[in-house]
Amino acid sequence: MKINAKQLEMVNRQVQRILESGNYYSEVYKKAGITGVHSEEDFLKIPFTDKADLRNAYPLGIQAVPEEQVVRIHSSSGTTGKPVIIPYTAKDVDDWATMFARCYEIAGVTNRDRIHITPGYGLWTAGIGFQAGCEKIGAMAIPMGPGNTEKQLQMMIDLGSTVLCATSSYALLLAEEINKRGIRDQIKLKKGIIGSERWSDAKRNYIARELGIELYDIYGLTEIYGPGIGINCPGETGMHIFDDYLYTEIIDPVTGEVLPDGEEGEIVITTLVKEGAPLIRFRTHDLSKILPGECHCGRTYPRLATIRGRSDDMFKVHGVNMFPSQIEEILGMVDGVSSEYKIDIAHDDLKNRDIMMITAEADGRVDFMKTAEQLKMLCKSRLNVTPNVVIVSLNTLPRSEKKTQRVFDHRGD
């Protein structure tokens, strides 16, 4: 999906505004000798930018408009280091709501719907984004925010909520609770709009089945407006991204090379009309691919495949890029195997090749040797890499409340 003439013109306008603003990026671009964008070649010369830049510019260094035009800030809570602050103008807030309203429309939500919003309100962009889009289409917002399951279910029943907006984990929790209490027949939900993150098919199927709803993945990140910059249309055919507001590239996360449609890599987004904090070629670290061809729905917005994971988690064996999610998928295909695992990668200097070892857990019902062989063959056929596989008993691998480290790279130890 090459950048078109209209988008180039929009990027040029963004760059001119940045240069005039004297903000953080104006310095970066002046140093890089960037004066304007008139061709694809010019565009590709603009350096990528990253969350680290936004942290360097903390708190308001990326602001590209005068103080009096800023109506709101949002902040993304980094797990490490300083948070990131994004200033919005009135137009930014309105543009975001317009995109979000489109998301609801694509999901078939109308002004007759009652939208139960469980993402949090406050500094981060979640709840308020769902709310603004809801008001824009004229539906009824039920601004719950997260937590207090008791009250969530009561309101859901009393008000007859028809659309649930939630993270996949919270949707799962509510589905389990509804199931446990046997109140499914009192619930009127028809659709679930779930903040896009990588979630397993098992979880998706459970939520869809228990709540009897259609599920939609909504995409977004605080740095680029917030949630609501893309959503899949009915039929899980990838998420439409609004190319009149955003230009999307997919790059090789290691080399930075722009990849053709259909190839998986890291999503890089350029805002085309953002005023408060324009970002050009922002690396999201989310992994996906642009789906080639037209969507059956007839909309011409480009489509991103469901998010596959984070590029920070990627590892390379025999020159093949791999992600923990691919291993998880394979583990999920074999009977008796748990979702806990560990990957060790080393280099055999004598044979000059990488060695990959997967340690996985299985329950006592299954033959460990046969299970290991099965996993090995699946890796070979699906990933083109043949690992050594060791099966251990359930609960042997360490559990962690925080994000568990899965990949241990011993090359260069």
Binding site for Zn ion (CB under 5 A): 233, 295, 297, 299
Minimum CB distance to Zn ion smaller for 72 or for 299? 299
Minimum CB distance to Zn ion smaller for 299 or for 411? 299
The Cα–Cα gap between 149 and 177 comes to 8
Q: Which residues contact 404 (CB under 8 A, 6 or more apart)?
A: 340, 398
Minimum CB distance to Zn ion smaller for 93 or for 194? 194
Minimum CB distance to Zn ion smaller for 216 or for 247? 216
Q: Dihedrals φ, ψ of 266, to 5°?
A: -90, 140
Residues 217 and 224: beta-carbon distance below 8 Å: no
Residues 187 and 164: beta-carbon distance below 8 Å: no
Return the structure tokens found at 121. 């309100």
Query: Strands 388-393 and 290-291: what pairing?
Result: unpaired
User: Minimum distance between the CB of residue 29 and Zn ion, rounded to whole angstroms?
Assistant: 36
Minimum CB distance to Zn ion smaller for 3 or for 103? 103
User: Minimum distance between the CB of residue 406 and Zn ion, rounded to whole angstroms?
Assistant: 34
User: Minimum distance between the CB of residue 232 and Zn ion, rounded to whole angstroms?
Assistant: 7
User: Minimum distance between the CB of residue 58 and Zn ion, rounded to whole angstroms?
Assistant: 38
Return the structure tokens found at 229. 């910059």
User: Minimum distance between the CB of residue 336 and Zn ion, rounded to whole angstroms?
Assistant: 38
User: Minimum distance between the CB of residue 306 and Zn ion, rounded to whole angstroms?
Assistant: 14
Minimum CB distance to Zn ion smaller for 244 or for 328? 244
Q: Which residues of 196-222 are buried (b: 16+ CB within 10 A; e: fewer)?
A: bebbeeeebebbeebbebbbbbbbbbb
Return the structure tokens found at 220. 């977004």
Q: Within 119-265, where are the H helices?
A: 126-137, 149-159, 168-181, 201-211
User: Minimum distance between the CB of residue 305 and Zn ion, rounded to whole angstroms?
Assistant: 13
Residues 261 and 2: beta-carbon distance below 8 Å: no
User: Minimum distance between the CB of residue 241 and Zn ion, rounded to whole angstroms?
Assistant: 11
Minimum CB distance to Zn ion smaller for 300 or for 396? 300
Among candidate residues 123, 195, 198, the one with its CA nearest the CA of residue 164: 195
Peptide bond into 234 cis (omega under 30): no
User: Minimum distance between the CB of residue 1 and Zn ion, rounded to whole angstroms?
Assistant: 15
User: Minimum distance between the CB of residue 12 and Zn ion, rounded to whole angstroms?
Assistant: 30
Minimum CB distance to Zn ion smaller for 170 or for 242? 242
343 in helix, strand or coil? strand
Minimum CB distance to Zn ion smaller for 184 or for 299? 299
Minimum CB distance to Zn ion smaller for 38 or for 299? 299
Total residue length of the chain: 413
Tally of CA atoms within 13 A in the half-sphere of 106 that contains its CB:
35
Return the structure tokens found at 267. 């999503």
Among candidate residues 58, 59, 56, 51, the one with its CA nearest the CA of residue 79: 51
Among candidate residues 326, 400, 320, 391, the one with its CA nearest the CA of residue 354: 320
Tally of CA atoms within 13 A in the half-sphere of 342 that contains its CB:
17
